[in-house]
Amino acid sequence: MELQDVKFEGWPHVIYAQQFSRRWLEQKLFSEARNMRLVVQQRGCDVLKGMRAVSFFYQKSTRTAASFAFAMDYLGGRVVFSTENAREFSGASVGENLSDTIQVLHCYEPDVIFLRYDREIGAEIAASVSDIPIINAGDRQPKGAPVSLFSGQHPTQAFLDVFTIQERLGGIDGISIAMVGDLANGRTVRSLSYLLGKFKGVTIYYVSPKNAQMLPDVKDYLNRRDVKWCEVTDLREVASLVDVVYQTRTQRECGGEIDRNNYSLGYFMMDGTILKMMKPNSIIMHPLPRVDEITPDVDSDPRAVYLKDQVKAGLYTRMALLKMILAPSA
Amino acid sequence: MELQDVKFEGWPHVIYAQQFSRRWLEQKLFSEARNMRLVVQQRGCDVLKGMRAVSFFYQKSTRTAASFAFAMDYLGGRVVFSTENAREFSGASVGENLSDTIQVLHCYEPDVIFLRYDREIGAEIAASVSDIPIINAGDRQPKGAPVSLFSGQHPTQAFLDVFTIQERLGGIDGISIAMVGDLANGRTVRSLSYLLGKFKGVTIYYVSPKNAQMLPDVKDYLNRRDVKWCEVTDLREVASLVDVVYQTRTQRECGGEIDRNNYSLGYFMMDGTILKMMKPNSIIMHPLPRVDEITPDVDSDPRAVYLKDQVKAGLYTRMALLKMILAPSA
Amino acid sequence: MELQDVKFEGWPHVIYAQQFSRRWLEQKLFSEARNMRLVVQQRGCDVLKGMRAVSFFYQKSTRTAASFAFAMDYLGGRVVFSTENAREFSGASVGENLSDTIQVLHCYEPDVIFLRYDREIGAEIAASVSDIPIINAGDRQPKGAPVSLFSGQHPTQAFLDVFTIQERLGGIDGISIAMVGDLANGRTVRSLSYLLGKFKGVTIYYVSPKNAQMLPDVKDYLNRRDVKWCEVTDLREVASLVDVVYQTRTQRECGGEIDRNNYSLGYFMMDGTILKMMKPNSIIMHPLPRVDEITPDVDSDPRAVYLKDQVKAGLYTRMALLKMILAPSA
């Protein structure tokens, strides 16, 4: 069984982007997400009435946690317990601790668990001991650890990213995209790459310093799919070619660091220079939060979607996902 | 347009004390707050049924956060997402980060956002990018930054303070009050001074060490209003004259520090000595939390209102404010 | 009045294990807890509809906090405000600060307060200023402080522990139990010992290094009750004799430390060696979280109850307790 054939159906968990088929994305997730836009306009519904979620974050991410909380709420469910910084004592054998914790939460019988994990392949460990749906809200492999096809992902971020592209560009087949920044440590670019591999004729330009390039598992995957990719160190080389610039943050908290003003490394800033080069109907994305990798003058450009369309897409796709998992027949 | 003429009506945000008129305070806030006392006795109502709040605190303040949470709950609304320590990475350009964050929360379409910010003029930055009501739960100017008429305030604290005075002393015109402590860094004394400027014949004694005196923006404002003020360094000089002693905490977390036992600096303790001097029908207030600036023997004195009346006033006035903003016609 | 005669009835607080009678445990808590198992199967009820809880933790404990949150939720109540790390500034006089905080929360009129405190005899301080029920979710005496019969307890943990024993072994009279680990700093072994003192013919083996033995207040109590106890430093000596091995964590966060592999201190690991020695119908318990004091191969043994029965018992007994306190006639 090839990974890209793994189906969401049957398995209750949402762990890595590869498990979802193009058909599922287009015929289920996207259409359901469009319905959710209306549900929010109507200020909510009650398809998840009485449903209970746990939001368990080992790493702070207020935006993602808030997005899941509002998704539950607009559907009539509730987050019964949430924590932003779950790690209790550094002395613990981490994997052990996570496995125990999930089994404990399991005893309280929530309907779903949102898990953000800061080390190892947390979402998989959780899924292995739970028959309550685990939704991976971001995990990553430790620096230098052997890379797993499952690890270091943020699938719900990838959902909102492809949905944003679909809605703004009218389709995903044949697009070209520049992913910019610390690609070795970024969760979002990994999951997005895996999802783009489901589509036809996509071209990805990986724009990063030599020491922060995309990891081989993704490249191997893309090579087996209908995706062209290449690596550059200067965003100016590709800015005029792409339909999407996907800018990402330097992963300071992962120990990564890019000096974006050290032009001997390359050119990685999304700024006025790049803006002038970009196509009129292209878009500029960012998973947020940002530090300084997009200059403020970009915000007001109509092509910038990171502060509005992309964030709303996160709410709609998470609502859609929750409805499909918790109330599929509703 | 003078600041004190700014009206609450029309503008959805609650950022600084000056924006509220005396008429609004007396005819709307106070009377609505009295109704809220009954709502709590009846264990709640549902005028905010289906309404969603975000409680976004960049600086821990369990008391204020709890007060807002209960205010929403007693009115039938709910806090869908809350965070106590929102700052995600110190590397971020702070203002930028806040502006992005508010725009992100905006996409989730809450009905109101409670914001506590620990630096700069956060509430104004938030209000500038939001048409969803922002309620300033306390912000402040960075040490040594140019003082803005808007910055460093805690307007809902000022509401509960004036409501407490109104209810206990039967009115605010003509009262004399001693504000004691680190007046240069205190949010609450700034907002309270601005509100007292709305009333007639008020006298304020600012009691602080020379290095922690009230900032000039407040003094300029008071000079344009019908408020007498003067500065002293010894609470004993004025204790017998005032209707209110408003004691405040040394702002340790702001880097300020008063050695209250170093009597070369002055006398700033609210203790048995001061208690004996005070008028029988005066009151002792404190925004809480306290460290050691009020001695425990003061707690049981009938004039001490900081552990009961003042805290309840916080719940009632915040409920009143939320009802006026979110369900004005209810 | 001897402590063991203190009754729960009349006093609204749940502070220490001794205050509960055997009759109350068997005829009320246990039977109500069995009902709660059904309530969870039915996905909740509304006996606490409209009831408000505050979950106020000065020390992180995601498992206990989640257990209380789900207990409220399954009964139809809600946690209106919760904090995981309530301490606001280290400079504060701690007891003072707690007393103020409880009085502030009191003003918001919740129906119950869950309090986890990390120093001193917090739950007692809280109870002394509150007529709203305080439920002690764990407190402890500071190292080297005079030991109080009330301090350093975790009564709701003790409830779930005895309920687990009752359900798995069919009764508590006459059982023998080994409590293993840092007994000087452990809250749970203190409260469990006090509860076991309510029953007949119980034998307790305290297994710990010499520097981490059970404190004298517990031993004095047991000497006045029908409980045999003795101290050993090698779990292998007693493993074959006991019905229960109650393993506990090294209290790293309390400054305690046991090198479990330094066999000059003794033998304190719950591992395959101990497993082989234990009776077929015995059980292995742990309050969680664990570090490394139980080896993973023990988890799958049918005698291990710490990841399932014991955790579920925590939910059921807390639900039962809340119903008895907040809706006794329901």
Residue B90 has a pLDDT of 42
Choose the closest CB to A104 out of C40, C73, C311.
C311
Closest chain A C-alpha to C328 CA, distance in angstroms: 23
**pLDDT band for position A159 (cuts 50, 70, 90):** very high
Q: Please say whether the beta carbons of A179 and A207 come within 8 A.
A: yes
Domains of chain C: 3-154+312-326 (3.40.50.1370), 157-310 (3.40.50.1370)
pLDDT at residue C94 is higher than 50 = no
What one-character DSSP code corresponds to residue C54?
E
Q: Please say whether the beta carbons of A318 and A156 come within 8 A.
A: yes
CA angle B315, C134, A56 (to 5 degrees): 80
Closest chain B C-alpha to A228 CA, distance in angstroms: 33
Residue A18 has a pLDDT of 84
Which backbone phi and psi does A205 adopt, to 5 degrees? -105, 115
pLDDT at residue C7 is higher than 70 = no
Residue C294: HSE in the Cβ half-sphere, 13 Å Cα cutoff: 27
Cβ atoms within 10 Å of C270's Cβ, excluding its own:
28
pLDDT at residue B186 is higher than 70 = yes
Rounded CA-CA distance C91/B291 in Å is 7
**pLDDT band for position B94 (cuts 50, 70, 90):** very low
Q: Which chains have at least 3 CB atom pairs separated by less than 8 Å from chain A? A: B, C
Give residue-wise pLDDT tens across range C125-146.
899 999 999 999 988 755 555 5
Give residue-wise pLDDT tens across range C198-256.
999 999 999 999 988 999 989 999 999 989 999 999 999 999 999 999 999 876 554 55
Is C253–A52 a contact, with Cβ atoms under 8 angstroms apart?
Answer: no
Give residue-wise pLDDT tens across range A45-65.
999 999 999 999 988 888 899
Rounded to an integer, the average pLDDT of A303-315 is: 98
| Residue in A closest to B106 by C-alpha | A308
3-state secondary structure chain B: CCHHHCCCCCCCCECCHHHCCHHHHHHHHHHHHHHHHHHHHCCCCCCCCCCEEEEEECCCCHHHHHHHHHHHHHCCCEEEEEECCCCCCCCCCHHHHHHHHHHHHHHCCCCEEEEECCCCCHHHHHHHCCCCCEEECCCCCCCCCCCCCCCCCCHHHHHHHHHHHHHHHCCCCCCEEEEECCCCCCHHHHHHHHHHCCCCCEEEEEECCHHHCCCHHHHHHHHHCCEEEEEECEHHHHCCCCCEEEECCCCHHHCCCCCCCCCCCCECCECHHHHHHCCCCCEEECCCCCCCCECHHHCCCCCECCCCHHHHHHHHHHHHHHHHHHCCCC
Give residue-wise pLDDT tens across range A194-241.
999 999 999 999 999 998 899 998 999 999 998 999 999 999 999 999
pLDDT at residue B3 is higher than 60 = no
Write out chain C residues lying below 8 Å of A53, CB-based. none
Give residue-wise pLDDT tens across range B50-76.
999 999 998 888 889 999 999 999 999
Cis peptide before B155 (omega within 30 of 0): no
Residue B157 has a pLDDT of 95
Q: Whole-number mean pLDDT of chain A? A: 89
Q: In what order do the strands lie in the sheet with A202-207?
A: A227-232, A202-207, A176-180, A244-247, A283-285
Residue A3 has a pLDDT of 47
Contacts of C18 (CB under 8 A, 6+ apart): C3, C4, C6, C149, C194, C197, C221
Chain C residues within 8 Å of chain A (Cβ atoms): 40, 43-44, 60-63, 65-67, 69-70, 73, 84, 252-253, 288-292, 296, 307-308, 311-312, 314-315
Closest chain B C-alpha to C76 CA, distance in angstroms: 15
- Nearest residue to B298 (alpha-carbon basis) of B324, B272, B326, B259: B272
Chain B residues within 8 Å of chain C (Cβ atoms): 40, 43-44, 60-63, 65-67, 69-70, 73, 84, 252-253, 288-292, 296, 307-308, 311-312, 314-315
Q: What is the ipTM of this complex?
A: 0.93
| Substitution target from C36, C48, C62 for chain A, most A beta carbons within 10 A | C62
Residue A191's alpha-carbon distances to A222, A287, B27, in angstroms, are 12, 12, 57
Choose the closest CB to A81 out of C44, C69, C290.
C69
Higher-confidence residue: B140 or A252? B140
Residue C196 has a pLDDT of 97
One-character DSSP codes across A216-267: HHHHHHHHHTTEEEEEESBHHHHTTT-SEEEE----GGGT----TT-TTT-B
| Substitution target from C49, C55, C307, C308 for chain A, most A beta carbons within 10 A | C307
Residue A34 has a pLDDT of 98
**pLDDT band for position B5 (cuts 50, 70, 90):** very low
Write out chain B residues lying below 8 Å of C130, CB-based. none
Name C180's bridge partners: C207, C247
The amino acid occupying position A47 is V
Asked whether the whole model's pTM tops 0.90, one would answer yes
pLDDT at residue B314 is higher than 60 = yes
Give residue-wise pLDDT tens across range A73-128.
999 999 999 998 776 544 444 445 889 999 999 999 999 999 998 876 788 889 99
Lowest-pLDDT range of A137-151, B19-33, B40-54, B275-289: A137-151
**pLDDT band for position C84 (cuts 50, 70, 90):** confident
